[in-house]
Amino acid sequence: MDTPRTPVVIPCAAAVAGTRLPPLRIEITCTLIVAAAIASRDYQDVHHDAELARRKGSPDIFMNILTTNGLVGRYVTDHFGPYAVLRRVAIRLGAPNHPGDTMVLTGTVEEVDGDTVTVRVVGENGIGRHVTGTVTVVLPGTDEGTDTDTITGTGTDTDMGTGTGTGTDTVTGTGLDSANLPVRRPG
C-alpha cells in the first residue's frame, strides 16, 4: 500500500523513544582514574593516592565526577556521531568506581522532540549503580530550510535554557543552528 509521506524530519533513524543504545563496558583501572582526574584538573588525593583514600574510609581510590560526566557524554556522542551536539548532561553518582571494577553504561532514548533527543543513561559496576543520568543531545541531519519547521512549536527552548536566567533561552527557538550550536557538516 502506498502510504502518504508527510515531511516529518527524523534527525536520526536511531532516535526513537525506547531505543536502547548498545552498552559500553569500561574497565576501571588506576590509570584511567588518575589520568582522567588529572586531565580534569582534579588533584583531590582520593583520586590518586590509595593510602590517603583509605584513611578517608574508602577502600581504594575512586573515579571523580568529572570523569563520569565525560564518559557519559562520550557514550552518547559515540552513539549519535560527531555532529550530535550535547546540550545538557545531568548525572547523579552512587556506588563509586574503584580500580579493578568494570562499569557498563547503558542508555535508553527517553524522548525525541524535533531534533532534540533525551537519553537516560545508567552505569552499573560490580557493587551497584555508579551513575544515573540524563543527556540531552541535538542531532543534525535536517536541512536549514526544514530546521525552523521542526523546531517551531516543539517546545525545545523550554528544555534548553531552564534556569539559566540569562535570557538566552528565548533565542533558541529560532536560533538553534545559526547562533548557538556548532552544526558541523562533513568535509
* Site for other proteins, rule CB under 8 A: 26, 32, 35-36, 38-44, 46, 56-57, 64-67, 69-74, 77-78, 82-83, 85-93, 127-128, 160-166, 168, 179-182, 184
CB of 7 to other proteins, least distance (A): 28
Nearer to other proteins, 10 or 181 (CB): 181
Nearer to other proteins, 73 or 141 (CB): 73
Of all residues in the chain, what percent are helix, strand and coil, respectively (each to 5)? 30, 25, 40
CB of 103 to other proteins, least distance (A): 12
Would you tell me how many other CB atoms lie within 10 Å of the CB of residue 56?
A: 10
User: Read out DSSP for 102-155?
Assistant: EEEEEEEEEEEETTEEEEEEEEEETTEEEEEEEEEEE-----HHHHHHHHTTT-
For 20, the grid coordinates are 536502547
CB of 117 to other proteins, least distance (A): 15
CB of 83 to other proteins, least distance (A): 8
Nearer to other proteins, 14 or 149 (CB): 14
Radius of gyration of the chain (CA): 19
Nearer to other proteins, 145 or 163 (CB): 163
